[in-house]
Structure 1
């Protein structure tokens, strides 16, 4: 387990607990009472630290290297061997930063689509750190249209630092691909459930982020720009990223208060990376709950409701 700077008190107690268990195994001395005390101290320390996290600390947690990614959720919440990954945009190539395919959750078939980061250096390069190219968004739209054809609900998982910013992506129509996805998702004749499980940055997130129900994990964020980029634009350096994170109101709590999302998914004690299995169960429960609610609504009314939801966001003067 890797620990962030502000998680060092947790690491110290965790190391003491592990040493206590090892001493008991090697020496045969009964250390249960001390181990129990350390376990209680660990829980109290985690609760104390996580009860007053700053926006920047939540951004750090959303990027934690041990945090579950899209494919972790998909393989954990779908029935064994039921997920069939589909590839390619039928125009240019298969973007590895976006994954998608049909899978079964309980007795229901869904189209599951999401941005995928890598777990090591080689995999991160392969996945382009979860930053999609235009063909990734076109693949996502192709799969959504396929889901619509077979009348299957759509689930999208968002965890991206943004769309890929390279010149070649712009040459192939990055903005057009994202814009088209937003436009088409407004009118898809199937329920759409959106889950922000980590980073939700800029158009990179919006390209698969339009839904009837939008939920955020407790330690995720959703914003037009990352705190570092915001700090660089306003102050000429990344040194004010903490101040930027506070001003951007990007946390799940902020998003819910502003009525930009529907629900916040409470994470296990210490975050999703501390107990991924609990995180999977919570996400699965949320999906089933939202699917049952949405499946009872007439599809034409659902589309109208979806459009009004996004039209009503923000204020403007003519």
Structure 2
């Protein structure tokens, strides 16, 4: 059973008819297989048409789809012998950020990612992917460990942003995020980040100040959510779609603005309709990005990353 988005209602109707036909018993007058084939062809055509012209607000909804592969899915499929590492050694464990050691395509790596969870219980456990300071301090600890052992770092981003609660502020949320960004920029080992769903605000940048920043085709990455932007500018959420247009948060906009380095294609209909293919595409993109740093001197890796971010914003100034 699919979780259909508002703009997918025509698809839902057709797929509903397909399910009805599949439960019918043929009576000789109706060739069910032929009818299902015709309807499936219409579904594929409609999916192609709809997803070829998604608005930024619709892409935001796709990026948040509960059936999209999450960090745990990518780690489970792509990272062998994964050993999770917990705690910031200062205050507590934060399950909104997961990380650990493993082997990716035969090479040892440190993997860190924000984890939203899927069902209600999982989302509560992982605080909907919104990390507290201890989560970012854990990420710093793991990145420094990776540098100590000369391991590349892979980060997977899917968060609406850092947790804005009073307890997080009391424990130094802003400082923790700033230190995490500083740690990213200071590494002498390759750091590759993939925005697989939402990349929200400093909570995302804290793990994505990377040598290579990749985005899935229908992911979003922005300084603030469309709803948050609308609530500030218009004092309500009704203009969220307009805010999404203005924020330039799609992978296509950000590639054009040189904020990200590459776009990873999703299956027709989005990652939630083809998890296995999406994960394989991410694996190929990660492999290519990591291979590009083979043989590069450690100082050059750090310098290239820093220059990448210093160059942002120069587009169109000359």
Which TM class, normalised by the smaller chain length? over 0.9
Structure 1 residue aligned with 2:35: 34
Structure 1 residue aligned with 2:283: 284
Structure 2 residue aligned with 1:105: 104
**Shift of residue 135, structure 1, vs aligned partner:** 0.3
- Whole-Å separation in 1 of the counterparts to 2:17 and 2:110: 45
**Shift of residue 212, structure 1, vs aligned partner:** 0.7
- Whole-Å separation in 1 of the counterparts to 2:124 and 2:106: 36
Structure 2 residue aligned with 1:198: 197
Matched, 1:135 2:139: no
Matches within 5 A, 1:1-150: 1-24=2-25, 30-79=31-80, 82-150=81-149
**Shift of residue 113, structure 1, vs aligned partner:** 0.4
Structure 2 residue aligned with 1:152: 151
- Whole-Å separation in 1 of the counterparts to 2:264 and 2:23: 35
Cα distance per residue 1:252-287 (max 9 Å; x no partner): 000000000000111011000001000010000001
State which drifts further: 10-19 or 68-77: 10-19
**Shift of residue 54, structure 1, vs aligned partner:** 0.3
Matched, 1:215 2:206: no
**Shift of residue 189, structure 1, vs aligned partner:** 1.4
Aligned length: 314
TM-score (norm 1): 0.96
Cα distance per residue 1:220-278 (max 9 Å; x no partner): 11111100010000011001000000001010000000000000111011000001000
**Shift of residue 100, structure 1, vs aligned partner:** 0.3
Q: Give the direction of change, closer, same or farther, for the CA distance of 1:66–1:27 in structure 2 (3 Å limit).
A: farther
**Shift of residue 5, structure 1, vs aligned partner:** 0.7
**Shift of residue 296, structure 1, vs aligned partner:** 3.1
Tell whether the 8 Å contact from 1:191 to 1:295 is kept in structure 2 after alignment: no
Tell whether the 8 Å contact from 2:143 to 2:183 is kept in structure 1 after alignment: no
**Shift of residue 167, structure 1, vs aligned partner:** 1.0
Cα distance per residue 1:47-84 (max 9 Å; x no partner): 011011000000000111111111111101123xx111
Structure 2 portions without partners, runs of 5+: none
- Whole-Å separation in 2 of the counterparts to 1:14 and 1:150: 51
Cα distance per residue 1:4-35 (max 9 Å; x no partner): 110111111111222222225x7686422111
Structure 1 portions without partners, runs of 5+: none
Structure 1 residue aligned with 2:169: 170
- Whole-Å separation in 2 of the counterparts to 1:218 and 1:239: 26
- Whole-Å separation in 2 of the counterparts to 1:282 and 1:315: 31
SS in 1 for 2:290: helix
C-alpha root-mean-square deviation of aligned residues, in Å? 1.5
Cα distance per residue 1:174-228 (max 9 Å; x no partner): 1111111111211111100100001111101011111111000111111111000
- Whole-Å separation in 2 of the counterparts to 1:297 and 1:39: 49
TM-score (norm 2): 0.96
